[in-house]
Amino acid sequence: MTPRKPLPTLDDVARHAGVSTATVSRCLNNSASVRGDTRRRVTEAVEMLGYTPHFGGRALASNRTNTIGAIIPTMENAIFARGVQALQESLATAGVTLLVASSGYDPDRELKQVSAMLGRGVDGIMLIGDARLQKTYDLLLARGVPYVLAWNFRSNSQHTWVGFNNRLAMRPLVESVLAQGHTRIAMIAGITSFNDRAVDRLAGARDAIEGAGLKLPAKLVIEAEYVPAAAGAALRKLMSRKSPPTAIICGNDVLAAGAMREARALGLTLPGDLTIVGFDDIELASLVEPPLTTVHVPHRRMGQTVAKLLLAMRDQETVGQSVEFQTEIVERGSVASV
Amino acid sequence: MTPRKPLPTLDDVARHAGVSTATVSRCLNNSASVRGDTRRRVTEAVEMLGYTPHFGGRALASNRTNTIGAIIPTMENAIFARGVQALQESLATAGVTLLVASSGYDPDRELKQVSAMLGRGVDGIMLIGDARLQKTYDLLLARGVPYVLAWNFRSNSQHTWVGFNNRLAMRPLVESVLAQGHTRIAMIAGITSFNDRAVDRLAGARDAIEGAGLKLPAKLVIEAEYVPAAAGAALRKLMSRKSPPTAIICGNDVLAAGAMREARALGLTLPGDLTIVGFDDIELASLVEPPLTTVHVPHRRMGQTVAKLLLAMRDQETVGQSVEFQTEIVERGSVASV
DNA sequence: TTGTACGCGTTATCAG
DNA sequence: CTGATAACGCGTACAA
């Protein structure tokens, strides 16, 4: 490995171009007051030396980083990956860099990540949902760094939200299952600890079931980690009951796909023997057999909106206006009448 | 939004603790020479003020950022998401932050990302494959910033690699298909432009087919974007030929799943009417029906290894020792004899 | 339009 | 073991 070379500095560029560092700085920041001639000499020198502004120096002097942070539970979840990708693309067009960290659904780790990002001087932060330590909010508020909560929605909230109401979104899906005559319905939910989306989806399913005069007993609710195998184990447990459910609501598409695989392994015919529905409408949903009936969520648009909002909050130092998205059921064929 | 508050500085902490900034700095960097008593006073003050070191200042003074960069084609590809997640986790245990950017398979964008990361003073960079602008390498070399190329492998390379030989990995998979008696084999490859993995996998398939004395004519090779629908369109085209292939090699699992979906839509029975194989062994592979025969790739272990290597290269300022991983075929049931 | 000079928050060197 | 103090690279009043 070549030894670490010292980066060319503003000073080097200035000397090469025969101007002062101030002028170079002005050129780089597109400040208007630079003569075309001078500007050309400077940009030439920049080219020649392969100069890149030093981020630290810049942050120190300007108290601006052109950086937005995003802390998500995990990158391995396609819905966040997609949203973050869109967020990054939107920010990039504004010349802003995205800093991504993942908390692994651990609130303590999230707090540390927020703290680290504040130290890095991010101009704004995206967080997922609102299930976290109060201390995390305190930190954000104390610093006055704008933040947006995403992937869920609450009205009349003190926070700025970009997302959809997970509870309300789940309800019509379950109602459509109920409409097929199912009365013994179970749920394979995501882990609800520090996950408001999982909590709300479960609550929405319960709303629908109880709204139909039925019950969702605790024994028919199993929480599973975000991997197909966990859903498979849950399904096996549910189907081994004396009177097994005829329909299973899954907290998301990955769980639904895992449940389907296990159901097939048990020799069940889908959807004839068992109705299974998911949530999120990731690519996977249309690739399994039978294709999954699920709830479509506009992940990319949410990411784009978060970008727009955070930049506005940063520039206008204004409070952010929450944006609520609507979801819709996508009927594909994993639901049958009882 | 609360107005942006000024962060507490080292100076504030020093004043509160009744010591000098130098001492505070020493405490924070775990430098040994600080009395327990003093250290306690300092950490107390840090707690009280909610102090977080200013990243820019630190970078400026120490010429170290504790940051590693990773530039991947896209986060929406599960294989990179998984690898990057592992990379991040490994780095985190060493107190290093990961900066992720995605190039969208655009070499110009990648060059800009590298430049930006260098400006941010990253201590090392992970790149995917070796299909990029020479200028990008020049920049890296000029700066002497350690970098690792991942997700592919070349022996006797001037670069440091962490990955597997895509060409060699594809060969036995295709040979196992040939062993089932297939003679008309087609390929749905990834887009090969600036994607050495896609190129190599295609080459590996050709190696196997020609090694068996058969041909892989250009008309039986279709490049498709990394989405199921593109693979579906490709499959439809292939199957509409006068004498359609009896087996289709796909450049990755997502393409394979998309091809399967379309094949079913055409009324074909899988694998009886058509053999389809994938590559990568992402979760999806075991969730489709029939489950996909594919090549297992240790994505997480690659991410961890990249972390280890980059940290070592940074600390010892030494050349990195390439690490080659082996892959293996996972036979699941999407292959039938002709 | 351009240059001079200071300060941003931290680390590191050197005395004490 | 601790305290002054000089860098580090850049932006920006202020002056010219």
**What is the secondary structure of A69-136 as a DSSP string?**
EEEES-TTSHHHHHHHHHHHHHHHHTT-EEEEEE-TT-HHHHHHHHHHHHHTT-SEEEEESS-S-HHH
What pLDDT is recorded for position A95? Answer: 83
Which pLDDT band, with edges at 50, 70 and 90, does A1 fall under? very low
CA of B21 to C1' of D5 (A): 11
For strand D, the positions having any atom within 7 A of a protein Cβ are 1-5, 7-13
Say whether B102 and A85 touch across the interface (CB within 8 A). yes
Contact A76 B59 (CB under 8 A): no
Contact of A173 with A279, CB cutoff 8 Å = yes
Mean predicted confidence (pLDDT) in A92-102: 88
Q: What is the mean pLDDT of residues A3-7?
A: 65
Is A46 part of the contact surface with chain B (CB cutoff 8 Å)?
A: no
Q: Smallest Cα–Cα separation from B104: which of B84, B149, B74?
A: B74
Contact check, Cβ <8 Å, A116/B52: yes
Task: Give residue B4's pLDDT.
Answer: 58
CA-wise closest residue to B153 among B130, B173, B176: B130
| Distance (Å) of CA A90 to CA A300, A306, B37, B109, B316 | 10, 9, 50, 14, 38
B143 min Cα distance to partner chain A (Å): 5
Put simply, the answer to whether B75 touches A52 (Cβ < 8 Å) is: no
Task: Enumerate long-range contacts of B36-41, CB under 8 Å, 24 or more apart.
Answer: B41/B17
Nearest to A90 by CA among A50, A44, A148, A134: A148
Nearest residue, CB atoms, A287 vs list B99, B143, B261: B261
Alpha helices in chain A (DSSP H): 10-17, 21-28, 36-49, 55-62, 78-93, 107-119, 134-143, 166-178, 196-211, 228-239, 253-265, 284-287, 299-316
Name the DSSP letter for residue A220: G
Q: Nucleotides of chain C within 7 Å of a protein C-beta?
A: 1-5, 7-13
Q: Does A271 touch chain B (CB under 8 A)?
A: no
d(CA B288, CA B256): 10
What chain B holds in terms of domains, given with CATH numbers, is 10-53 (1.10.260.40), 66-164+299-326 (3.40.50.2300), 166-297 (3.40.50.2300)
Closest CA–CA distance from residue A203 to any residue of chain B (Å): 28
Q: Residue B226 corresponds to which tokens in the numbers above?
A: 């990394």
Interchain contact A31–B (C-beta under 8 A): no
Query: B261 is written with which tokens?
Result: 């979906």
Q: For residues B86 and B57, is the Cβ–Cβ distance under 8 A?
A: no
Q: Which two tokens stand for residue A234?
A: 């849950």
Average pLDDT in chain A: 93
| Over residues A24-37, mean pLDDT | 81
The answer to whether residue B32 neighbours chain A at the CB level (below 8 Å) is no
What's the predicted TM-score (pTM) here?
0.91
Report pLDDT for B276: 98
Residues of chain B in contact with residue A57, where contact means CB-CB under 8 angstroms, are 56, 60
Q: What percent of chain A has pLDDT over 70?
A: 97
Question: What confidence score (pLDDT) does residue B32 get?
Answer: 67
CB pairs under 8 A between A and B: 166
Residues of chain A contacting B98 with CB distance shorter than 8 Å:
100-101
Contacts of B65 (CB under 8 A, 6+ apart): A56, B55, B58, B59, B120, B121, B122, B123
Q: pLDDT at residue A206 above 90? A: yes
Is the Cβ atom of B35 within 7 Å of strand D at any atom? yes
For residue A169, pLDDT over 90 is answered with: yes
Of residues A194 and A94, more confidence is placed in: A194
The CA–C1' separation of B199 and C14, in angstroms, is 58
3-class DSSP state for residue B70? strand
Categorize the per-residue pLDDT at A131 as very low, low, confident or very high, splitting at 50, 70 and 90: very high
pLDDT on residue A129 = 98
Neighbour count for residue A37 (Cβ, 10 Å):
8
Task: Report the alpha-carbon distance of residue A222 to residue A150 in Å, rounded.
Answer: 25
Contact B76 A76 (CB under 8 A): no
Asked if A7 has any chain B CB less than 8 Å from its own CB, the reply is yes
pLDDT in the model for residue A51: 87
Cβ separation of A88 and B76 shorter than 8 Å?
Answer: no
What span, in angstroms and rounded, lies between the C-alpha atoms of A72 and A106? 10
The reported pLDDT for the residue numbered B1 is 44
Question: Consecutive sets of 10 residues in chain B, 338 residues long: mean pLDDT of each?
Answer: 68 89 86 78 87 88 88 92 92 88 92 86 94 93 91 96 98 98 98 97 98 97 97 98 97 98 97 97 96 97 96 79 96 96
Flag whether residue B65 sits within 8 Å of chain A, measured between CB atoms. Answer: yes
CA distance A179 to A7: 67
The CA radius of gyration of chain A, in Å to the nearest whole number, is 25
Query: Residue B1: its chain A contacts at CB < 8 A?
Result: 144, 146, 313, 317-320
Instruction: Name the pLDDT band for A283 (thresholds 50, 70, 90).
Output: very high
pLDDT of residue B52: 85
In this complex, do B228 and A289 lie within 8 Å of one another by their Cβ atoms?
no
What ranges make up the beta strands (E) of B14-121? 67-72, 97-102
pLDDT at B5: 65
Pick from A4, A284, A320: CB nearest B287: A284
Nearest to A335 by CA among A295, A290, A296, A297: A290
CA distance B188 to B223: 6
Q: Do the Cβ atoms of B123 and B64 come closer than 8 Å?
A: yes
Give, in Å, how far the C1' of C15 lies from the CA of B16.
25
Q: Give the DSSP H or E segment for A318.
A: none
From the list B97, B75, B101, B79, the residue with the least C-alpha distance to B88 is B97
Name which of B46, B51, B60, B225 to mutate to probe chain A: the one with the most chain A Cβ atoms within 10 A of its Cβ.
B60
**Residue A211 scores a pLDDT above 60:** yes
∠ CA B77-B83-B89, rounded to 5°: 130
Q: How many residues are present in chain B?
A: 338
Assess whether pLDDT exceeds 90 at residue A62: no
Q: Could you tell me if A223 and A191 are in contact, meaning their C-beta atoms sit under 8 angstroms apart?
A: yes
Q: Does B49 touch chain A (CB under 8 A)?
A: no
Look up the protein residue whose alpha carbon has the minimum distance to the C1' of C11.
Answer: B61
- Which tokens sit at B326? 């082996």
> Is residue A308 pLDDT above 90, yes or no?
yes
Residue A326: what pLDDT?
A: 97
Does residue A3 carry a pLDDT above 70? no
Question: Which of B3, B119, B228 lies closest to A53 in CB terms?
Answer: B119
- ∠B280-B281-B285 over CA atoms, to 5°? 125
* Nearest neighbour of A60 by CB, restricted to B56, B142, B284: B56
- Whether the Cβ atoms of residue A279 and residue A252 lie closer than 8 Å to each other: yes
